[in-house]
Amino acid sequence: MSDKTGFIYDESYFWHDTGNGALCLRPGGWIQADTHSENPETKRRAKNLLERSGFIKELEVIAPRAATREEVELNHVPSYIDKVKELSDANGGDAGEIAIVGVGSYEIALLSAGGALTGVDAVMSGEVQNVYALTRPPGHHAEPEYGRGFCIFNNVAIAARYAREKYGLKRIMILDWDVHHGNGTETAFYHDPEVLFISLHQEFNFPPDRGFVEHIGEDAGKGYNVNIPLPAGTGNAGYLYALEKIVGPIADQFKPELIIVSAGQDPSPFDPLAQMMVTAEGFGKMAEAVKEIAERHCDGRLVVCHEGGYSTAYVPFCTLRVIEALKGAKSKVEEDPYELVIKGLPSDVLAAHQKEAVEKVLKAQSEFWKFNDQAVEV
């Protein structure tokens, strides 16, 4: 196994212009607009922290290629792709439901999807063991027919379809730990047993009508869609418990040939668009757990794609911990700089209602998967 970790980004990822707003509201309402939530700062600062800490020198920096139109069509209808291009070539606009396309965003979105594809090629060829792609715009809310929730093209869904087509993979696992439900990815593979989709998210957050426990997939895809909605206030303990009790056992039975992660660093205590309590340390531990699953089943092949995360001051540290875990090494940033304000939070305490939320999922999925250390049949 290689010990190399790739890092994919392109300067133009930071040039996708969502304009101004108040959180996700467009200007012109009751409150003065400042910067739109999905602005470049969190991602640019994540890259800056890799540089300032010197940790970028430990990584293989890889330039992304743009996805081709045909590759985007693996997951999106042509009329939607045309719409994004038209908006991008004109003055921009909304490509669906709060999916802002700025001038020139089409080409950047192709490069963002291409970042995920570049990541797939880098791990499948063995050039690197695993990879972090700082993709922007994000992708997991994007539906085949329209954009949603700041997402234009569904980077991870396109990557999974591409990996299947190019490398003939039959079992791909997508784990989505963005605090919002990965509705677009769920839609893409809801009837598909070859792509296992597991989403950890805050219950009743965005989109409010998606991500329920009982949405388990349909037809041949039944049992290959796993929603883990967690209550507001869940922190490291709850997330790691869900990984241990649900994600690990299902992965051990599914035996993925490739793992793709939708990494949104928005379940953090500082995020303005969610109410969870996963600390930077917690993100590192989640990445370690997923890395171990990848090492058990697919020679460590793991592609991590950036999704959301809206705290400009904290997302960089969370992202750094994820990348450290992928590399299996520590940067010079030893302590969480926010230790003083997070140490009193009950992030490492598993509350009874959080445990119940996990048990609900185990019950809903027990028809398809074995849990509780039962003998595993494949």
Residues near Zn ion (CB under 5 A): 178, 180, 264, 266, 308
Q: Which is nearer to Zn ion, 264 or 284 (CB)?
A: 264
Coil/strand/helix, residue 22? strand
Q: Which residues contact 301 (CB under 8 A, 6 or more apart)?
A: 123, 124, 129, 130, 257, 258, 259, 294
Nearest approach in angstroms of CB 156 to Zn ion is 13
Q: How far apart, in whole angstroms, are the C-alpha atoms of residue 217 and residue 196? A: 10
Q: Which is nearer to Zn ion, 112 or 365 (CB)?
A: 112
Spell out a b/e string for 285-302, using b for 16 or more CB atoms within 10 Å of the CB, else e: bbbbbbbebbeebbebbb
DSSP-based three-state secondary structure for 270: coil
Q: Rg (Cα) of the chain, in Å, rounded?
A: 19
Q: How far is the CB of 267 from Zn ion (least distance, A)?
A: 8
Given the complex with Zn ion, which of 264 and 316 has the nearer CB atom?
Answer: 264
Cβ 335 to Zn ion, closest distance in Å? 26
Classify residue 90 as exposed, middle or buried by CB count within 10 Å of its CB (0-12, 13-18, 19+). Answer: exposed
Shortest distance (Å) from residue 21 CB to Zn ion: 16
Of 178 and 257, the one with the shorter C-beta distance to Zn ion is 178
What is the DSSP pairing of strand 34-35 with strand 20-21?
antiparallel
Task: Using CB atoms within 10 Å of the CB of residue 67, give its burial: 0 to 12 exposed, 13 to 18 middle, 19+ buried.
Answer: buried
Among 222, 337, 340, 325, residue whose Cα is nearest residue 282 = 325
Q: Residue 166: CB partners within 8 Å, gap ≥ 6?
A: 120, 124
Q: How many CB atoms are located within 10 Å of the residue 165 CB?
A: 11
Cβ proximity to Zn ion, 114 vs 149, nearer residue: 149
Active site residue 141: yes
Q: How far is the CB of 206 from Zn ion (least distance, A)?
A: 7
The C-alpha atoms of residue 48 and residue 26 are separated, in whole angstroms, by 28
In our burial notation (b when 16+ CB lie closer than 10 A, e otherwise), range 217-238 reads beeebebbbbbbbbbebbbbbb
Q: For residues 178 and 281, which CB has a smaller minimum distance to Zn ion in the complex?
A: 178
In the complex, what is the shortest distance from the CB of residue 211 to Zn ion, in angstroms, rounded to a whole number?
12
Catalytic residue among 141, 201, 215, 306: 141
Min dist CB 149 to Zn ion, Å, is 7
- In the bound state, the residue with its beta carbon closest to Zn ion is 308
Q: Which is nearer to Zn ion, 180 or 306 (CB)?
A: 180
Residues classed as catalytic = 141
